[in-house]
Structure 1
Amino acid sequence: MSESTSTVSMVSTAPKKGGGRRKLSLPVIMLIIAAGLALFSLVRVISGANDLTSVGQVAGALQLAVPIGLAGLGGLWAERAGVVNIGLEGMMILGTWFGAWAGYQWGPWTGVLLGIVGGALGGLLHAIMTVTFNVNHIVSGVAINILAVGVTRYLSNFTFADAEGGSSKQSPRIDQITEITIPGLSDWLADLQGRHWFFISDLAGVLGGLMTNLSLLTVLAILLIPGTWWVLWRTSFGLRLRSCGENPVAAESLGVNVYKYKYIAVVVSGALSGLGGAFLVIVSTGIYQEGQTGGRGYIGLAAMIFGNWMPGGMALGAGLFGFTDGLKLRGGAENVHAMLLLLALLLVLAFAWQLYKKKHWQAGISLGVAALLFAWYSLTDALPSQFVDAAPYVTTLLVLALSAQRLRMPKADGMPYKRGQGK
């Protein structure tokens, strides 16, 4: 009991930026979500981009957000224990290959299990290099990304190439996991969304997208977010793990086996990334293709940073990136063009807030950029296809740039540690 109490004290007294901000209550969070949805509805009405909050758009965004969210969740586990995991992309690649290899032979759920194992092997390798041998975390992560590409390409040459319907760069078709739809309610929400009423139709589109053709693996992935929060913030195990990322020397002095907790965290990190890879091949596409991760591991890392190393914030970041990625698949240039108006309105709100805070030059910049975006939106009818394709990555850069000032990473994140170094 005394060890847990001391660990709690050590973690809770870690320095915080921003003077210890109050946590948002559930009613306030719901009001923020409602205000955001109202803003989307206003943009939809003005721009005429009725697919912006449709059932199909929301369902597609959710499917695109899940692999990013799983990679981000994996990064959160590792970095909360003090290990930077740039290798999320490589672990996700291993998850795609192992998931596809097992999935087309023994069924989708076996593919999910082997995808998790493949990612966990990548996490184990990263843990051995960084925790045991104190290799620089960035160097180790980059090496795993390169190694994963080479290994999966080599394995594909003598597994998928000889299989019926496969080749050296793709697997045969994999059976789908069961999808669930709430009968009656889904159809009613889709009909309500099709009426294009202000706010009501947008709310119906969001709810309908969360209830229509929902894979069981998607439900599992969503449940992992509150599950991670509960384990890391409501159990003694989680407190000890987080203490390793804040002050491993102090944690060791309290009897915490820092090596063990770092190993567990990084292996779990790899397993979650591998699950994201398995989701890509089994749920999103139904087939393995070389290079299909498309940098989602890196975007997951960006979502984790945007979320300030917290599961809820990470989920919001993954949803944002998934939604932006989905815009180019449904409506393409028209939807992305409407987002110019949304960004302009958000900057106007930022201008008012910064003016209220008496940050005059920041307010002036926000107003100037908002004016440019309004002009761009008014003078054009569509955007170049290259900009549409780049939208998810541009969003990643903008979000990280705008959120950088409020971030606080774990204090010992990425720092080398050797057992007994505090003696």
Structure 2
Amino acid sequence: MTSAFIETAAAPARRPMPGWARAALWVGIAVVAVSFTSYQTGLPELTASGTVQSAVRLGVPILFAALGGLWAERAGVINIGLEGMMILGTWGGAWAGYQWGPLAGLVAAAVFGALGGLLHAVATVTFGVNHIVSGVAINLLGAGTAQYLSTLVFEPVSQNPRESPPVPKFDTYSAQPFGDWLQWLEDLQRVGISDVAGILGGLLTGVSPITLLAYLLVPVSYLVLWRSPFGLRLRSCGENPVAAESLGVNVYLYKYSAVIISGALAGIGGAALILNPGQAGYLEGQTNNRGYIGLAAMIFGNWRPGGLLGGAALFGYSDGLQLRDGEITVHALFYAAALVLLAVVLLQMWRRNWFAGGVALVAAAIVYSIYWYTDELPEVLTAYTPHLVTLVVLAAASQRLRPPAANGLSYRRGS
């Protein structure tokens, strides 16, 4: 018994894989699954550069909303009102962009979104209103305010109370000569090589300043929230505000700052819908619940910047794919999803987690059966692909989530 104990103690402990490496592994598995699906189904649209460009364009607003949710909830304030703040951002961006250009529109969108965040902070932090109730009220107020202002300001110009006149856009940039070389590789239609070339070509072609800003804010948010004294104090307000107060942290100030920044980020996400190419200007209802999807991306990412980037990419890809012959291409995703689930089965078996592996195997069989026994999906379902993906992903990720401990709880100084 003693020798067995000594051998066990002497055996080196298996170090867990770093988070970035685990994320890179799953990204690689997903790319391989989609590439193999593209080859098996004869659908190059799955990895075409045009599909990836659409995914990036549609995923950037979701990414901004997810970052906004991250900042608020890390300070302990649930921000269901991201959708309303995005709506305010779309109107503010269209109004200022039409008057003074896209840069002014971007600033105005951040300001309008921040005003929505400020209102949410006043209700939840100062007056202790339930965070969900306040967020729903912000969504209703944002939609109603934008509708009223559109009737007041845009209708005399556009002759339509539900849309603005055309708004100037940001210029887009491409990585030359890499773009031409990647397009040549994509056109060769070689398994794996053309798929990777299409993905890289979509990421490096037609990039706007808002897209660059979105990707830049992911590492910046990580560095500020996890590697700075300001971020440490802010996150302490979301974990244990009473303990933070005892150490001299002004909890009210940090909660207000976080929720206002959250609203500004959501507002910029709204501006991305009108200042990026592909949309003439403000259009009533154009956010299409992306604020809620951004919140789902944040939860999928376990309240971490890198994770929410993956969630935004997933939702943006599913949204972009349904725009390109969606009945067939979205149907092919069932094949790719079955392959990913098989990878999950192998992982769980390697960990000797037999129950989780069995559940993943059953899920893989169901998903593949749907693919095998159907030829395409009804159009009424493909239109709601991002929302369905949101529900499935949240259900699958629910077991590993760890929100901030004091998230959504009321706080009173001295309590």
The TM-score bracket by the shorter chain reads over 0.9
* Residues 23 and 410 of structure 1: CA distance in aligned 2, closer, same or farther (over 3 Å): farther
Query: Are 1:337 and 1:382, in contact at CA under 8 Å, matched by a contact in 2?
Result: yes
Q: Which residue matches 2:100?
A: 106
**What pairs up with 1:12-51 in 2 under 5 angstroms?**
22=16, 24=18, 29-51=23-45
Provide the TM-score with structure 2 as the length reference. 0.93
Q: Which residue matches 1:6?
A: none
The separation in 1 between residues aligned to 2:184 and 2:159, in whole angstroms, is 40
The separation in 1 between residues aligned to 2:370 and 2:22, in whole angstroms, is 34
Give the letter aligned to residue 81 of structure 2.
G
Question: SS state of the match for residue 287, structure 1?
Answer: coil
Q: Which residue matches 1:257?
A: 250
Q: Percent same amino acid at aligned positions? A: 52
The separation in 1 between residues aligned to 2:215 and 2:272, in whole angstroms, is 12
- 1:279-335 CA distance string (max 9 Å, x none): 111215131011110000000000000000000000100000000011111131121
Between the two proteins, the alignment pairs up a number of residues equal to: 400
The separation in 2 between residues aligned to 1:39 and 1:179, in whole angstroms, is 30
Question: SS state of the match for residue 51, structure 1?
Answer: helix
**What pairs up with 1:193-342 in 2 under 5 angstroms?**
193-283=186-276, 284-342=278-336
The answer as to 2:36 corresponding to 1:72 is no
**What pairs up with 1:18-167 in 2 under 5 angstroms?**
22=16, 24=18, 29-163=23-157, 165-167=158-160
> Where does the alignment leave 5 or more consecutive residues of structure 1 unmatched?
1-20
Q: Which residue matches 2:185?
A: 192
Query: Are 1:120 and 1:267, in contact at CA under 8 Å, matched by a contact in 2?
Result: yes
Question: SS state of the match for residue 240, structure 1?
Answer: helix
The separation in 2 between residues aligned to 1:43 and 1:245, in whole angstroms, is 42
- 1:118-164 CA distance string (max 9 Å, x none): 0000000000011111111111100010111111111111100001x
Query: Are 1:81 and 1:244, in contact at CA under 8 Å, matched by a contact in 2?
Result: yes
Moved more, 353-362 or 257-266: 353-362
Q: Which residue matches 1:7?
A: none
Q: Which residue matches 2:8?
A: none
Give the letter aligned to residue 64 of structure 2.
L
| Shift in Å, 1:31 | 4.1
Question: SS state of the match for residue 319, structure 1?
Answer: helix
The answer as to 2:173 corresponding to 1:180 is yes
The separation in 1 between residues aligned to 2:282 and 2:352, in whole angstroms, is 53
The separation in 1 between residues aligned to 2:389 and 2:20, in whole angstroms, is 27
- 1:205-240 CA distance string (max 9 Å, x none): 111111111111111111011111111111100000
* Residues 124 and 22 of structure 1: CA distance in aligned 2, closer, same or farther (over 3 Å): farther
The separation in 2 between residues aligned to 1:72 and 1:101, in whole angstroms, is 24
The separation in 2 between residues aligned to 1:286 and 1:238, in whole angstroms, is 38
* Residues 47 and 178 of structure 1: CA distance in aligned 2, closer, same or farther (over 3 Å): same
The separation in 2 between residues aligned to 1:308 and 1:23, in whole angstroms, is 17
Query: Are 1:102 and 1:111, in contact at CA under 8 Å, matched by a contact in 2?
Result: yes
Give the letter aligned to residue 317 of structure 2.
F
Question: SS state of the match for residue 160, structure 1?
Answer: helix
| Shift in Å, 1:358 | 3.9
> Where does the alignment leave 5 or more consecutive residues of structure 2 unmatched?
1-14
* Residues 253 and 22 of structure 1: CA distance in aligned 2, closer, same or farther (over 3 Å): farther
- CA RMSD after TM alignment: 1.5
* Residues 95 and 166 of structure 1: CA distance in aligned 2, closer, same or farther (over 3 Å): farther
- 1:186-208 CA distance string (max 9 Å, x none): 11111211222122111111111
Provide the TM-score with structure 1 as the length reference. 0.91
Query: Are 2:301 and 2:310, in contact at CA under 8 Å, matched by a contact in 1?
Result: yes
| Shift in Å, 1:349 | 2.3
